Amino acid sequence: MIEACLFDLLEGFVAIWLYTGGYNIVVSGDDISKVYNEKAVLVLNHQSTADVPVVMAAASSMPRVAGNIMWIMDYIFKYTNFGICSHFHGDFFISQGKDKSEQLQKLTKHMKTVFIAAQKKWIVLFPEGGFLRKRKEGSKRFAKKNNLPELENVTIPRVGAFEVVLKSLKQNTQNGKVSDLKSSQEIKWVVDVTIAYPGGNPLDLHGIGFGYWPPCVIHTHYRIYPVSEIPLETEKLSNWLYERFIEKEHLLQQYYTEDKFLDETDTQKRVLPQMPRKQLQQRVIPISEEVLYHYFSNEVLEC
């Protein structure tokens, strides 16, 4: 509990970089508050180093969540200045190499010995396995080879880690035996998170830290799926995850060309574009485009 509190404070410190630089986050889509107290895996598109502070800033506005998040990240980050902090926090460092099977076995063990034992709630996963600009060409080759659409705003995701997370934290019958997970230890939700930067030009961590970039709005769109409705067979699960990233492609293209992120017609069941609670320092309320314009013009916001 102490460690979770300290990590919550650390994420809040990173969030300050965004707020003081004028990089404001607007959220839309499903109401994510209903999964605050349950286990979930967040599946995000990955564009730059700015994605990490964006997620931290979003998490810092969610009560009882920020300190209990486990990150799955590339092993190279283990040797950075925050590697030791991530290690003791219980994050998992995965290696993108030939020892894929061994890495996934280690992740399976990590889910039980660390994630469940430490009573963490959420897992942050970037299935693309790298930044958009670095993986785009390889993604297009893979898509062409496997009869998938070639994507411009996201890349074809890798399924291995996502599959391990779901199967490790889900009650299911394997080899004639039922897993011994308690109901409170099961993963309940997959939260599909789409991050969009103005004009499709992502910021970077250093620029955010120094306030190099001009103030802007960063959009995060949530869609929530019950794990009980997601197939666990490898092929079906792969197709399900591919479909989510194809949807992300359409959402981002729509946002960049029409400045519109609401993809559903029944907006009554969706969260309209709004500022997270801590940014408003009061309850979450829908905000009109006119009010947002005045707010981002550094005028006083009165609600």
Give the pLDDT means over successive 10-residue stretches in the chain (303 positions). Answer: 86 87 90 88 94 89 82 86 85 79 90 90 92 91 92 93 91 54 84 93 90 91 93 94 94 86 56 59 48 54 47
pLDDT at 10: 85
Distances (CA, A) of 285 to 55, 60, 186, 271: 21, 18, 32, 9
What is residue 28's three-state secondary structure?
strand
User: What pLDDT was estimated at residue 284?
Assistant: 40
Distance between CA atoms of residues 102 and 125, nearest Å: 18
pTM for this prediction: 0.83
Report the distance separating Cα 86 and Cα 77, nearest Å.
9
pLDDT of residue 268: 52
The per-residue pLDDT for 285 is 44
Instruction: Give the helix ranges, DSSP H, for 187-261.
Output: 205-210, 234-258
Catalogue all structural domains in the chain, each as residue range(s) with its CATH number. Answer: 2-296 (3.40.1130)
Confidence at residue 262, expressed as pLDDT on a 0 to 100 scale: 58
